[in-house]
Amino acid sequence: MSIFCENEGLFGGQASASAGEIISSTIDEASAVILLNNIVSPIAIITLSAGDWQIKANPQFICNSVGIVTSLQAFIGTSSGTSTEGRVTGNTAFVSPPSLPGTGGAQIVWDVNIDVETTYYLKGLALFPGGSVNAFGELSARKMS
């Protein structure tokens, strides 16, 4: 996992960000998170200071050749672990299951205005009766003002 803050180097819990600044967290395919059937799992995490932000997520799902994948979902939440707290229509993507084996993905773009430092989680959820599904991707945000 890498967390990067443009113009600031590696992210270290800075107090505030300047307009145009980018904060991102990337989980590459080699470090993909193993998803369990019907259990929400965090994929990537960023912490943002107060202000207007445009958050972008690029979740990718890897489905193996065993079993049938019936649903793949990704969303941006505000609570760690398996919680769906913070999930709303504007920050959720439903991904069409790929032909097996295969990889499928989506893009989420969400504008937020926050008053206090807030941590955001890119999370994945898969419904599959057998086989395995892994998830990876990027969660980034650009400070708008």
Q: What confidence tier does 65 reach under pLDDT thresholds 50, 70, 90?
A: low
Average pLDDT over every residue of 58-70: 84
Residue 25: count of CB within 10 angstroms of its CB: 23
Phi, psi dihedral angles at 100 (to 5 degrees): -90, 140
- The answer to whether the beta carbons of residues 134 and 72 sit under 8 Å apart is no
Domain 2-143 has CATH 3.90.470.20: no
- On average, the pLDDT of the chain sits at 86
**pLDDT of res. 114:** 95
* Among 111, 71, 62, 72, residue whose Cα is nearest residue 91: 111
Average pLDDT over residues 117-143: 94
CA torsion sign for 25, 26, 32, 35 is positive
Specify the pLDDT at position 89: 78
